[in-house]
Amino acid sequence: MSPDRLTLTRAEAIRRRKEEEQKRREKLTQKRVRAPEPSAASRPSAISQVEPIAPRVSPTISRSRFRARYDVAAMPVPEQARPFAARHSQTASLSLPRITFGPRWFSLLIVLACVAMMYFYLTEPYFLVQQAIIQGNGRVSAQEINTVLGITNQPAAFLNPAQIEYNIKAAFPEIYGAYVQVELPARVTITVVERQPVAAWQQDGQVVWIDAHGYAFPPRGEAPGLVTVSATGNPPPPEADLTQTIGARPFLRPELSAAIATLAPHIPPDATLVYDPQYGLGWSDPRGWRAYFGKDNRNIALKLVVYQAMVENLSARGVQPTLISVEYPHAPFYRVSKSD
């Protein structure tokens, strides 16, 4: 083999070896570009990996190298390789507190509505009571009752009917009952029941009115046809109601009050009812004696018959009595003056 042929063969071998090394380098570069990079700090620039190892090659190899550069620039950058500010910029923009409407908001709206409604009831004149409508009163005027109620300019929704009834009974013993009705927006209706007197009890210079149940209360107004009982002493004490704290107090026993109501229509003209602690209830007859019928309402009709019979008998005999007692109708008696 000639030396020229040997030289050409060696040059060709060197060229082929360089071409093979260049191909291996290109394959290695492509693998590095396609493999995911672990982090942004350790990731070298894709372009810087290609440029230092690019020797002078043919145009075909150069075009392949530029194509690799373009592919590297077009590939998406992994999340780990992004800078910290870039990774957190979008997250920071969405990190504001998010307001959600749940059951607590609904409860808060209810509370606010209740507070507003209460304030409206307390301040709006449309819901404030000026005075009550009084019904059933006779001797006590509506103005007098409204004076003691204490409801002027008060919200109707906050009035206590029981307290209103208490105030009325405490101020007016002659009122037996009070029925209070409160209606929105500001209407108060009170129906009162007054005690009806059956007699005026006069004792020791004082006068009180007595109803059919024996309760005493101060006189008020006019009571046409009311009889007067002149007492020379205290009547038997009635049973006390320890639970009663206000209103009229029982003064007479119910049976004694009933006796007054029963005897009143039978009083002779110009006669007055009297009460004696010993003989009971009766009247002072204008003919000059006192008649007594006891301390209760039992057998009043029989007692009246016996009394009339005794009066006729004494008149026929010409006896002038000073006292006739039919408390016990089966054992009546009379008295005369000592001079007789």
Q: Dump pLDDT digits (tens) for 25-83.
A: 887 777 665 655 555 444 444 444 444 444 554 554 445 554 545 444 445 555 555 55
Which has the minimum average pLDDT: 145-154, 284-293, 306-315, 331-340? Answer: 331-340
Query: How confident is residue 215, by pLDDT bands cut at 50, 70 and 90?
Result: very high
State both tokens at 52.
């230092």
pLDDT at 146: 94
How many CB atoms are closer than 10 A to CB 251?
Answer: 21
If you compute the radius of gyration of the chain from its CA atoms, what whole number of angstroms results?
60
- The yes/no answer on whether domain 197-336 falls in CATH 3.40.50 is yes
- Residue entry with tokens 């908001």: 105
CA distance linking residue 128 with residue 326, whole number of Å? 63
Contact 169, 192 (CB under 8 A): no
The CATH 3.40.50 domain(s) of the chain lie at 197-336
Residue 266 per-residue DSSP state = G
Cis bond leading into 224, ω under 30°? Answer: no
pTM for the structure as a whole: 0.62
Element (H, E) at 174: none
Tokens 């819901």, located at residue: 127
Q: Which CATH class is domain 105-194?
A: alpha beta
Distance of CA 167 to the CA centre of its chain: 20
DSSP 132: P
Residue with tokens 């040997």: 6
Q: Burial level of 168, CB count in 10 A (0-12/13-18/19+)?
A: buried
Residues of the chain with CATH 3.10.20.310: 105-194
